[in-house]
Amino acid sequence: MTNLKQSNTFKKIAVLILLLFAGIAKAQLTVLPEPEPTTAVPASVQQAFQQKFPGVEPVWYRRYRGEFNQQLRFQGKFLVNNKTVLAVFNQNGGLMAMVVEMDPLQIPKKARKFMQNHYPYNSITQTAKITQIDNVDTYELGMYLDNYYVIVIFDKNGNFVQLSKG
């Protein structure tokens, strides 16, 4: 009888492990689609970028933003000091935001503590500092939550602002 109980326990553990690996495999397939690079960038956007970053050659991406995806944005992606930087422009060449990749330890301590308390088992996959055109800084931490990529947003002091879909 003891061997039968051990055999059933082993089967349950094996099934649990298989389900766990299946969940991990599915999570890896739930990656956000990376936008395709584009060369169709308006001259006004290219000129504004060159004025701000002379001599830098970015890879351009085109994305629609806003509640109903009605706002066209051009994102110039490039490296500065081995960190990825994204300059976001509207279609008229207005700089909307700067996104700078960060080391997770540079995120405010209060935000790191929030993450440890609320998402102790979720790995942060991306960290960035966002500077909007009105000089408002936020910190964004990307992670997978229930097979969805989400972004946890904090203000400049590390106070939680919101959780949004990536």
Same domain assignment for residues 21 and 81: no
10-residue block means of pLDDT along the chain (166 residues)?
Answer: 52 43 38 67 94 94 75 90 92 93 93 95 92 90 92 95 86
Q: What is the pLDDT of residue 68?
A: 63
Residues 91 and 128 in one domain: yes
Could you tell me if 10 and 64 lie in one domain? no
Alpha carbon distance 32, 59 (integer Å): 18
Answer yes or no: do 102 and 141 share one domain: yes
36: in domain: no
Which DSSP category does 27 fall into?
Answer: H
- Give CB contacts under 8 A, 24+ apart, made by 54-60: 58/87
Calpha distance 32→144 (Å, rounded): 10
Number of structural domains (the chain) is 2
Look at phi and psi of residue 141 and say left if phi exceeds 0, alpha if psi is from -120 to 50, else beta: beta
Q: What are phi and psi of 10, to 5 degrees?
A: -60, -40
Q: Is residue 35 part of a domain?
A: no
Assess if residue 113 is contained within a domain: yes
**Nearest Cα to 111, choosing from 157, 74, 68?**
157
Residues 131 and 59 in one domain: yes
Give yes or no for a contact between 143 and 153, defined as CB atoms under 8 angstroms apart: no
Say how far apart CA 125 and CA 129 lie, in whole Å: 14
- Is residue 37 in a domain? no
Which CATH number does the domain housing residue 83 bear? 3.10.450.360
Burial (CB count within 10 angstroms: exposed 0-12, middle 13-18, buried 19+), residue 126: middle
The answer to whether residues 25 and 47 belong to one domain is no
Question: How buried is 96 (Cβ within 10 angstroms: 0-12 exposed, 13-18 middle, 19+ buried)?
Answer: middle
Tell me the pTM: 0.69
pLDDT in tens, 46-92: 999 999 999 999 999 998 876 666 678 999 999 988 899 999 999 99
For the chain, the average pLDDT equals 81
6/63 same-domain check: no
State which residues form the domain around 2. Answer: 1-30
CB neighbours of residue 141 within 10 Å: 24
pLDDT (0 to 100) of residue 28: 38
Distance of CA 110 to the CA centre of its chain: 19
